[in-house]
Amino acid sequence: MQLPTSIAVAATLGALVVGGVQAYPSSPVTHNTELGREFVVLENDSDATDRQRLAHTIVSPDYLQHNAIVPPGRDGLLTFLRGVRVVMPDVRFTSRDVFATDDRVVSRFTVTGTVTGGPFVGVPAGGQHLEWDGVDIWTVRGGRLYEHWDQFDWPRALIQLGVKGLPQPFVQAAAQPVNR
């Protein structure tokens, strides 16, 4: 049996796509870079069913989370993202950079949104517009995001939320324009 030319060419070029992420035979670096890009798609998807489907494609079932405010595991990640969307219905994640190696992905991003749907990190909703930057670092196992660490520009976010009493250097830094 002979395959149609388009299927044979797609398979030969490694262009078969599974859930938006190139399946191997692309290089691990290319695959892992796509995982980082697809994670932003996951964060921005407002449909919970689509978000869950994509998470099951790109996030390992035994996902390890090292952010203390995010519940553990892949389901904890989905719960956290659902909560962010409730608190900031207009939330948007913008990818700035994605770098990868054979077993790691690093992503730099900006989060924007308006706090209208409930308290955010314990601060009551008051229509605060937030815009802060962050960095995600993952290990990749079995072609999926496996372990996660992150850093956020929390001083800027807390000042935008209206939190008072932060040290003056943070207030001054947050008042500066961001050069992305």
Helix (H, G, I), strand (E, B) or coil at 104: strand
Residue 73's closest CA among 159, 156, 151, 148?
A: 148
At 42-62, the pLDDT tens digits run 999 989 899 999 999 999 999
Alpha-carbon gap, residue 31 to 126, rounded angstroms:
41
User: How remote is the C-alpha of 148 from its chain's centroid?
Assistant: 10
Average pLDDT of the chain?
87
At 80-119, the pLDDT tens digits run 999 999 999 999 999 999 999 999 999 999 999 999 999 9
**Residue 86, both tokens:** 């409730």
* Domains assigned to the chain: 15-175 (3.10.450.50)
Q: What count of Cα atoms within 13 Å lies in the side-chain half-sphere of residue 174?
A: 22
Predicted TM-score (pTM) above 0.75: yes
